[in-house]
Amino acid sequence: MANRTVKDAHSIKGTNPQYLVEKIIRTRIYECRYWKEECFALTAALMVDKAMELRYMGGIYGGNIKPTPFLCLVLKMLQIQPEKDIVVEFIRNEDFKYVRALGATYMRLVGTSLDCYKYLEPLYYDYRKLRHMNRSGEFEVLHMDEFIDELLREERLFDIILPRIQKRAVLEETNQLEPRVSAVEEDLEDMETDEEEELVMESKRSPSPEKSKGHRDQDKARSPSPRFRRSRSRSPHRRDRDKSPSRRKRSRSRERERRHGHRSHKEDDDDRRRRSKKSKKDKKDDDRHRDRDRDRERDKDRSRHQDHDRDRRDRGDRSRGGGLKQEIKEANELRARLGLAPLRQ
């Protein structure tokens, strides 16, 4: 009796709701300890408490095919067939993520195509992490939006063959669903609008290259080209100037300077040599004077050190002599008390 579907349950896809789970997996669930201890006489009201205790999700695992508590509760929901309002509350629950995952799985198995798209697509905006146990019994990280995408796209999940649903494009063509706008597309549109605004602001700040090229062309048109300057022919007045006597005299004087230029170069070389000789002599004299000044300074320093040493010796001798006299004086006082002859100083 505990493994039978309720009497007033509606058939899903033309068959018993429990038959959506394959017979081998269904018999393994009936034989597992969790089903016998926790799922016996479980009602729709008590299902919430058991769903809140879930800590991971998964299908079967291990070599001997053990079912997870998540899969056991899915089969129990198919058996008792809770009302649609309870399942919708499971899906809208934001505090317990595994309760939401359980409700989404049941809605995908039982609900129509419109109900699946209507209630499951809003969960694309839930990015929380879920612990998923794979077939080898190891835990993996799975996000809620990835899990919902697998529910709507894959044919098999948690070792259960999911019923087929209509494509979204077909429902949009028949006006049963509105076109879906992705959150990523909205972000991309916002980024494009921001980039366009930045480009408009930059174009306002800096002049366009076409305008700058136009200004450059105007400047070039105003200024005459160098070829045009070179190609100017001399006027007859300038030719007459070249032929004038003053011009001829200047040219003759330049020719003379060119002829006698070697003499001036020689004189310049001689002058440079003389200057270099004088500069060498001056340097030698300066070096001699510097050496003399250094010797004089050294002699002065030596004499100062000698005088300082003499003063120090004299002070030491004086201090020693004074101390010796004081010692002799004290010794004589002591000898006088004892009746002895005094010492000679």
> Of 165, 195, 220, which closes a domain?
165
pLDDT at 272: 74
pLDDT at 175: 86
Distance CA(186)–CA(190), nearest Å, equals: 6
Q: Strand 57-58 relative to strand 60-61: parallel, antiparallel, unpaired?
A: unpaired
Other residues' Cβ atoms within 10 Å of the Cβ of residue 114: 13
Whether residue 139 lies inside any domain: the answer is yes
Report helix angle 69-80 to 23-31, nearest 10.
100
The residue segments making up the domain with residue 337 are 310-345
pLDDT at 183: 67
For residue 238, how many C-alpha atoms fall within 13 Å in the half-sphere facing its CB? 4
pLDDT at 231: 45
Number of structural domains the chain divides into: 2
112-144: pLDDT as tens digits: 889 899 999 989 988 999 999 999 989 999 999
Distance CA(74)–CA(98), nearest Å, equals: 12
Whether residue 300 lies inside any domain: the answer is no
Whether residue 172 lies inside any domain: the answer is no
Distance CA(76)–CA(34), nearest Å, equals: 12
Residues of the chain with pLDDT under 70: 1-2, 183, 186, 206-269, 277-280, 316-323, 344-345
Whether residue 218 lies inside any domain: the answer is no
Contact in structure between 107 and 119 (CB atoms under 8 Å):
yes
Distance CA(244)–CA(72), nearest Å, equals: 124
Distance CA(105)–CA(120), nearest Å, equals: 10
pLDDT at 228: 43
3-state secondary structure at position 57: strand
**Residue partners of 116: CB distance under 8 A and separation at least 6:** 107, 108, 151, 152, 165
pLDDT at 295: 83
pLDDT at 229: 47
Whether residue 124 lies inside any domain: the answer is yes
User: Cα angle at 145 between 144 and 146, to 5 degrees?
Assistant: 90
pLDDT at 1: 45
The number of angstroms, rounded, from the C-alpha of 105 to the middle of its chain's C-alpha atoms is 40
Bridge partners for 161 per DSSP: 156
> Of 148, 165, 182, which closes a domain?
165
Whether residue 212 lies inside any domain: the answer is no
Q: Residue 141: phi, psi to the nearest 5?
A: -95, 130
> Of 131, 165, 199, which closes a domain?
165
Q: Strand 139-143 relative to strand 160-161: parallel, antiparallel, unpaired?
A: unpaired
pTM of the model: 0.54
pLDDT at 204: 75
Whether residue 278 lies inside any domain: the answer is no
One-letter identity of residue 152: L
Whether residue 149 lies inside any domain: the answer is yes
